[in-house]
Amino acid sequence: MSKTFTAKNLAYCGIFVALLSVSGIFTIPLTNGALSLQVAVVFILACILERRLAVLTVIAYLILGLVGLPVFAKGGGFGYVLQPTFGFLASFVFGAFALSTIYQSSKFSKKVVAYVVGIIVTLFIVYTLGTTYMYFLFKLTTDNPFSFAKIISFAVTPYILVDIGKAVIAYFIIIALEKALRINQ
């Protein structure tokens, strides 16, 4: 993709903001949270868009939600920063930056290796920042705060295999999109 703010690139960004929004609204509720496809959309946009555009796309999505558009799982508005899962959403910015940087790096001989390394780093970032945010939010807002290990047990552990599955599916989508974009250039 071109490294400029062309109409075509901005249209791609708009599509990914829409996909992030839809994937945040349509979730599968679980006992300790919800399952969405947002992280898969972040994986895809980080690999398809140039790094700067990937990061700006996620930031645009967060801004839309924080100004009140109901693009998050439980609505929108600035008060959403007090939701325990907001840290995971905010961490998508850093995850998109890391995955985009690694995937587009020339240090890897094969894209699949870059992708796997990028996914590991991205999930580490998302889980670490999201869990840390949740921990401090609970510590500040509840009388009986959860331990960090307890938060990991219900906010990370149940999702690891699911997120790896999303990463595998996202990779096939990325390959197809890259092929389609090369054909159309």
DSSP letter for each residue of 24-80 = HHS-EEETTEEE-SHHHHHHHHHHHS-HHHHHHHHHHHHHHHHTT-S-BTTB-SGGG
Domain that holds residue 105: 7-183
Q: pLDDT tens digit string along 8-56?
A: 889 999 999 999 999 988 888 777 677 899 999 999 999 999 999 999 9
The total domain count for the chain is: 1
pTM: 0.93
Does residue 2 sit within a domain?
A: no
Task: Classify residue 27: in a domain, yes or no.
Answer: yes
Q: Is residue 29 part of a domain?
A: yes
Residue 1 falls inside a structural domain: no
Structural domain includes residue 38:
yes
For 49-80, write each residue's pLDDT tens digit.
999 999 999 999 999 999 999 999 888 999 99
Q: Identify the CATH number of the domain in which residue 44 sits.
A: 1.10.1760.20
Spatial distance between the Cα atoms of 17 and 44, rounded to a whole number of angstroms: 12
